[in-house]
Structure 1
Amino acid sequence: MAAVRDNKAQQRFELDTEGGMAFANYRLTPSAVIITHTETPRALRGRGIASDLVEGALDLIRADGNKVIAGCSFVVDYLHKHPEYADIAG
């Protein structure tokens, strides 16, 4: 599986896929990273790519010692389904 990367210049996490790039836009605050929008290429939806993207983004946020705030419904749902990230949920 491809690794999620933090494109700090564009303030988004990115995941390359066979059919394009999935990404999650974010905003930084002094206390947290707010994920505002996730997007997966239309042809690739329903394959778990957005979940892989969010998992990788959360791992990067945790590694940086930050908290996350879910600013889009997909991330809200993901955090509800994955209590292992409760420690960084803001």
Structure 2
Amino acid sequence: MSREISDNAQQSRFELHEDGILAGFAEYQRKPGQIVFTHTEVDPAYEGQGIGSALARGALDHVRAEGGLSVVPNCPFIKGWIGKHPDYQDLVA
């Protein structure tokens, strides 16, 4: 089982592929100095397998590595995930 998280900038979303199949995505909007997460979705076939959490962590790690952006978690899932992981609070605008 292989998981890959990538930034699909053309569709403005981070995607998680499980064994090459799209299992979930987190949509965003880029604004000057900010990335606004608007919606996260996991394919029902992958629910309960940690896809959402892996996607949130991967997307936020990507934002941190890129640098210079603060996160606006308008998506309830991303907001809740950050609330449970205080080591990501520093990214929030």
TM over 0.5: yes
Matched letter for residue 89 of structure 1: V
Cα distance in structure 1, aligned partners of 2:35 and 2:92: 10
Higher helix fraction (1 or 2): 2
Q: Decide which of 50, 59, 72 is 1:57's aligned counterpart.
A: 59
Q: Which runs of 4+ in 1 moved over 6 A?
A: none
What percent of counterpart residues are identical? 40
Kept after mapping to 1: 8 A contact 2:14/2:25: yes
Scaled by the length of structure 2, the TM-score of the pair is: 0.89
Q: How many aligned residue pairs are there?
A: 90
Two-structure CA RMSD over aligned residues (Å): 1.3
Aligned pair 1:72/2:75, yes or no? yes
Cα distance in structure 2, aligned partners of 1:67 and 1:20: 26
Deviations 1:23-81 (A, max 9, x none): 01100010210110001101211211010001000000011111111011101110100
Higher strand fraction (1 or 2): 2
Aligned pair 1:7/2:8, yes or no? yes
- Where does the alignment leave 5 or more consecutive residues of structure 1 unmatched? none
1:20 is displaced (CA, Å) by 3.5
